[in-house]
Amino acid sequence: MKIAIAQINPTVGNLTGNSNLILEAAQKAASAGANLLITPELCLLGYPPRDLLSVPSFIAAAGEKLHQLAQDLPPDLATIVGTATPNTNAVKQGGKALFNSGVLLEGGKVKQIFHKRLLPTYDVFDEDRYFEPGETSGYFNIGELKIGVTICEDLWNNEEFWGKRSYAGDPIADLVKLGVDLVVNLSASPYCASKRQVRSAMLQNSAQRCALPIVYANQVGGNDDIIFDGSSFAINRNAQLIRVLASFKTDFAIVKYDETKGDLMGDSLHNESAIQDAPLSFDPPEGDAEIWEALVLGVQDYVRKCGFYRVVLGLSGGIDSALVAAIASCAIGPQNVLGVLMPSPYSSDHSVNDALELAKNLGIAIEMLPIGDLMKGFDRALADLFIDTTFGIAEENLQSRIRGNLLMAISNKFGHLLLSTGNKSEMAVGYCTLYGDMNGGLSVISDVPKTRVYSLCNWLNSGGSALKLPANGEIIPRNIISKAPSAELKPGQIDQDSLPPYDILDDILRRLIEEHESIAQIVAAGHDEAVVKRTVQLVMRAEFKRRQAAPGLKISDRAFGTGWRMPIAKAAFY
């Protein structure tokens, strides 16, 4: 038996487009003689549909589209489609109005429906907001074969792997009791750095314990702040990865189930000995390459799915905007990227030269709009009101906001999407200007700590990306990497006047934000107490800025975005 995996890139709300992606994969599967096609979780709707799930006419339209799809699919191909289905018992028995379902379509009809049982509510997930959990796990037959169906989180309650239970129920254990031969999983598992390895290791553990092969179909693509990496795979009953699909790309694969051996095999592209000898791995490798591809996909899909074709961003001559310009160039082509230089009297000459060199290296167009006169204009407008006050945050922020206005004027005039270039370290401590450099439709690196920004730029210069290295061998001019980071909002200013060195700051922030460590724990790890306390205070105070930030591409376990829900008006409890 042949099982096809459709690693597709749906768009939220685009029922017709998503349905067509499923149809295309189905036609490919049928041509290759596959018996079964697995699609990602909720892929008919696009994940995450969020409050579109509360719109009755959307749910009704999705129901109609599903039945149309059943009729349009190749009749002999069993296809499991991820979508939301109504919980008709909700009114009488209580519970949410919908299920998160895998619907088995075959012969023009809905044959069977399976409901997701474990509904995540942590991080970016709100599934209890919309869905009633399924009560039992089930399977369907293809010939003699019993195929158990699970949806994403259903396979994540692996007590042995995590050292703790997250839910009372355990669908895979129930499927073992039902005597299934194979488990398929429809997923929309968001990307974060190294998540691919965690997923496969966890499911290899499950496959081993349960002696069950697993076919895992994940969504790919960017949707607002959340990136799905794809990286679907198949594991045999000996817990070997026998097939790994591309990361950060639409992909399609077929695996074979050998009824005699009672196990999954690689497809024709991989012979068995190759599987045994060289364990498969994900491409690109972990680290900078992986994060780079994630960010490129995130920009590409946000631009495309929002209906834009070109982007604009401010080029300060600093490393953050340099990295974002490079990502954008790779995502939508340098010909679609406009860099705007907006030097002030506090800008150093090298800032302008560095930015110009970067633009040349990338092949992007630039505009130069000096802001000195506008600064004077605001000074004059505010002169009476600000009399006898000293230059400070108000004047520094004004420069950033003048730039923000110019960029938005260009965005509005020419229809370019404005990209915001702040990094995670800045967003954490509020070292950024609301309505200034925070302006933009998408915040490209707001989940990338400053230390990782450096590492990505060095990796770029080593030729790691698809971007063509210029003759001098450097995409990001060396001076941009080597100079002391500065907002250049007053003479001689550098970031380290206000902040601890970034390697220290980033370690404190990681412990605080991702590891939930207390001040005492962070100090115990070797950090200066005063620095830690000051950092925690800055993070707490900057919540009002983050609340109004553009969506930022999530690449970490805990990004400031959908999965970060902190009150603004609060007292420090530290």
Q: Quote the least distance from Cβ 350 to a copy of itself, whole Å.
A: 23
Q: Does residue 192 bind a copy of itself (CB under 8 A)? A: no
Which position among 41, 127, 153, 290 bears the catalytic label? Answer: 41
CA dihedral 320, 323, 326, 330 (to 10 degrees): -120
Q: Does residue 388 bind a copy of itself (CB under 8 A)? A: no
SS3 (DSSP) at 207 = helix
Among residues 31, 122, 387, 388, the one that binds a copy of itself under rule CB under 8 A? 122
**In the annotation, is 116 catalytic?**
yes
| Cis amide leading into 48 (omega within 30) | yes
Q: Does residue 412 bind a copy of itself (CB under 8 A)? A: yes
Among residues 31, 260, 482, 548, the one that binds a copy of itself under rule CB under 8 A? 548
Task: Go through 406-421 and write b for each residue having 16 or more CB atoms within 10 A of its CB, e for each that does not.
Answer: bbeebbeeeebbbbbb
DSSP 131: B
Among residues 386, 430, 478, 493, the one that binds a copy of itself under rule CB under 8 A? 386
Q: Does residue 227 bind a copy of itself (CB under 8 A)? A: no
Q: Pattern of binders to a copy of itself over 271-310, x per CB under 8 A? A: ------------------------------xx--xx----
Q: Cα 353 from chain centroid?
A: 33
Q: How many CA atoms lie within 13 A of 489 on its CB side?
A: 22
Q: Does residue 468 bind a copy of itself (CB under 8 A)? A: no
Instruction: Look up residue 276 and give its amino acid.
Output: Q
Distance CA 333, CA 335 (A): 5
Q: Does residue 439 bind a copy of itself (CB under 8 A)? A: yes
Q: Quote the least distance from Cβ 563 to a copy of itself, whole Å.
A: 9
DSSP 391: S
Among residues 367, 497, 514, 529, the one that binds a copy of itself under rule CB under 8 A? 367
Task: State the chain's maximal CA–CA distance in angstroms.
Answer: 88
User: Measured on CA atoms in the order 64, 65, 70, 71, is the torsion positive or negative?
Assistant: positive
Which position among 106, 132, 152, 293 bears the catalytic label? Answer: 152
Among residues 434, 444, 539, 559, the one that binds a copy of itself under rule CB under 8 A? 434
Distance CA 248, CA 245 (A): 10
CB nearer a copy of itself, residue 389 or residue 462: 389
Angle value at C-alpha 281, between 275 and 282, nearest 5 degrees? 140
Among 174-182, 263-271, 389-397, 469-477, which window interacts with a copy of itself (CB under 8 A)?
A: 389-397
Among residues 143, 279, 526, 567, the one that binds a copy of itself under rule CB under 8 A? 567
Task: Output the six-digit token pair for 537.
Answer: 């205070």
**In the annotation, is 41 catalytic?**
yes
Among residues 54, 68, 71, 276, the one that binds a copy of itself under rule CB under 8 A? 54
Q: Does residue 92 bind a copy of itself (CB under 8 A)? A: yes
**In the annotation, is 192 catalytic?**
no
Q: Does residue 406 bind a copy of itself (CB under 8 A)? A: yes
Among 279-287, 321-329, 343-351, 387-395, which window interacts with a copy of itself (CB under 8 A)?
A: 387-395
From the number of C-beta atoms within 10 Å of its C-beta (0-12, 13-18, 19+), residue 50 rates as middle
- Site residues for a copy of itself, window 318-357 (CB under 8 A)? none
CB nearer a copy of itself, residue 471 or residue 572: 572
Strands (E), 78-232: 78-86, 98-106, 109-115, 138-142, 145-151, 182-187, 214-218, 220-223, 226-229
Which position among 43, 65, 106, 116 bears the catalytic label? Answer: 116
Residues catalogued as catalytic: 41, 116, 152
